[in-house]
Structure 1
């Protein structure tokens, strides 16, 4: 029996008759760190958004923890999930975006406890204690009462990561989490992500940070033109790529 927590099969997605995903097949094991590399426009972010149902697939399916995302099985038939049912499915999945998306009028602590209390109905004191634990984990416990505008970009992204963890997800998706940061701030965010990888969290990371992929990934997937061109362990895909498209892409970085 497969230990896969995410399975994607023949996933297609088009925007205005432009096919962005052309049949993506991918499997992510529980506790695995998968890094997706590829040029801009290759469909990487769209694929992440399909996993989290921020985009609806045109064809194919994705399961997370054995549940088909975007659908429910009722009365012996597979039906489109309602908005409420999709929200329930998303409880298993957290996402960290390029932009930090923190609520500017809330403190760091308030940002972390908003979803656990308001959406997931966790007891307030329990949510606060867990939020403080997460802030300590990302090195920002002393910033609990600060507002986002008082933090650097790197600190805001680390708060975003802590906020994603606050709902205790089974999977966390990272969509180019360092691309909006000044170069000197990238390292602190990648260090936080390395720590999470070492703790056995299931992660899918879209990034151009080749060093992170080499150090932290269990599997590297190279996408181009809406398809998976090559995938395997980093020592294979990064250090010894087989496909000419992978070779051409990596030659810009190595």
Structure 2
């Protein structure tokens, strides 16, 4: 069987074509326009532009230092940008526009924007003195203004959703890394975000724990959550992503549906990277 016939026969390829078509049809929830970011003399992002359609999954791939995690952190203004703009659901993130200049918002205004953007980090960042249930309830009560009864009911739903219904009263130290990361996902979902950001969510896990976290992310994708994911999990990108973006040296080298970028990359740099992570 030829390589083309193999791709035609692979149901994952068919799924990727379907999701790729969906990505092209949907309006962008996230618009990244000519974003620049430097640390001193080192330019990390160089005029990066990218659109993420609503209800789709975009996976950012690339070697360490390529700028993908920095770009992700710029989307919710954990990192400031030096130029360009980032728009989420028609809101300019972190700034107000005056003429041709961006003026940074107040911390309170930025916090309001972040309420709609969930983020899951490499490290789980759970409060060690709180149970899994309390970790998930904290932001809806303290920031979202929900009653404790409302927050508890929602937190229990989310724990069930991530497969941890029986672990509500466990403290982080009593949970495995994979379980902690699933609690972190539930915590981010508790604020009912429009967008979920994942910064290498499985990189700190033992290999046998990765699958459970990826399964939760796959379920979110099936439910239509808009997601931007920085990962080295090529299988996840191939099977779940609507759009794969390969970055290197602070620029987007290649972007498109997974069957194109992963199955038939046009740039030699992309091919070299994919060979190195097989």
Report the TM-score when normalising by structure 2. Answer: 0.88
Question: What residue is the counterpart of 1:69 in the other structure?
Answer: 93
1:99 is aligned, of 113, 123, 147, to 123
Q: Spell out structure 1 runs of 4+ moving beyond 3 A.
A: none
Post-superposition offset of 1:80: 2.1
> In 2, distance between residues paired with 1:4 and 1:116?
27
Distance 1:192 1:80 in 2: 35
What SS does the corresponding residue of 2:276 show, helix, strand or coil?
Answer: coil
Which residue does the alignment assign to 1:144? 168
Residue 28, structure 1, aligned to residue 52, structure 2: yes
Q: Which among 164, 187, 198 is matched to residue 222 of structure 2?
A: 198
Q: Hey, what's the Cα distance between the residues in 2 that align with 1:97 and 1:20?
A: 20
**Distance of 1:221 and 1:56 partners within structure 2:** 22
> Superposition RMSD on alpha carbons, in Å?
1.6
Which stretches in structure 2 are left out of the alignment for 5+ residues?
1-24
Aligned to 2:253: 229
Pick the aligned partner of 2:79 from 52, 55, 62. Answer: 55
Please report how far the alpha carbon of residue 50 of structure 1 lies from its aligned counterpart in structure 2 after TM superposition.
0.4
- Superposition deviation, residue 122 in structure 1: 1.4
Match of 1:167 among 180, 188, 191: 191
* Aligned partners of 2:32 and 2:85 also within 8 Å: yes
Look up the SS of the partner of 1:195 in the other structure.
Answer: helix
1:253, distance to aligned residue in structure 2 (A): 2.6
Farther off after superposition, 120-129 or 93-102:
120-129
Q: Is the 8 A contact 2:26 2:54 kept in 1?
A: no
| Correspondence 1:115 to 2:160 | no
Structure with more helix by fraction:
2
TM-score (norm 1): 0.97
- Give unpaired runs (5+ residues) of structure 1: none
Deviations 1:89-138 (A, max 9, x none): 11110100000000000000000010011011112211111111010000
For 2:69 and 2:188, locate their aligned partners in 1 and report how far apart those are by CA, in whole Å. 17
Q: Matched residues in 2 for 1:138 and 1:161: separation?
A: 8
**Is 1:39 aligned to 2:85, yes or no?**
no
In the TM superposition, residue 2 of structure 1 has moved relative to its aligned partner by: 7.0
User: How far apart in 1 are the matches of 2:84 and 2:52?
Assistant: 16
SS in 2 for 1:251: helix
Question: Are positions 1:14 and 2:57 aligned together?
Answer: no
> Deviation at 1:73?
5.7
Could you give the per-residue CA deviations for residues 147-167 of structure 1, whole angstroms, max 9, x where no partner exists? 000000000000000001000
CA 1:126–1:73 in 2, change beyond 3 Å: closer, same or farther?
farther
Partner of 2:212: 188
* Count of aligned positions: 253
